[in-house]
Amino acid sequence: DQQVKQNSPSLSVQEGRISILNCDYTNSMFDYFLWYKKYPAEGPTFLISISSIKDKNEDGRFTVFLNKSAKHLSLHIVPSQPGDSAVYFCAASGSGTYKYIFGTGTRLKVLA
C-alpha cells in the first residue's frame, strides 16, 4: 500500500512559468514532509521541508504548501528554470521516528 503518492509521473513547464508538483499521503501519523530533487546518476538532494504545525514554507523560488485535512502537499517553483529539470520526490515521516516514506517521483522538464 503506497502511503505517499505522486500521481503525476511527469510534468513539462515553460521557462519562467510556475511548476506545481503534487503529493498525497494516507497516514495521518505523518507530521513532517520533505521534497528532494534528483538529477540523473546522482543521489537525491534535500530541497525544502515542512512541519505539520505550518501550512506553508518558503525558500527562495521554492514554496511548499501543506493541507492537512486533505492530506495533500504541493511544491511550487516560481519562476521555473531549465536547471530545475530533475525528478522530484516527496517524503513523509512521523516525529519521533527516523523512517522516511518516499513517493514515486515526478519528472519535471522545464522548456527553454
Partner 1 sequence: NAGVTQTPKFQVLKTGQSMTLQCAQDMNHEYMSWYRQDPGMGLRLIHYSVGAGITDQGEVPNGYNVSRSTTEDFPLRLLSAAPSQTSVYFCASSQGLAGTGTQYFGPGTRLTVL
List residues binding partner 1 (CB under 8 A): 4, 6, 9, 31-32, 34, 36, 41-46, 49, 51, 89, 91, 93-105
Shortest Cβ distance from residue 110 to partner 1 (Å)? Answer: 22
Shortest Cβ distance from residue 59 to partner 1 (Å)? Answer: 13
Contact 87, 21 (CB under 8 A): no
Cell of 46: 534535500
Shortest Cβ distance from residue 56 to partner 1 (Å)? Answer: 17
Task: Give whichever of 74 and 104 is closer to partner 1, judged by the CB atom.
Answer: 104
**CB burial of residue 107 (10 Å; 0-12, 13-18, 19+):** middle
Tell me which residue has cell 510534468.
11
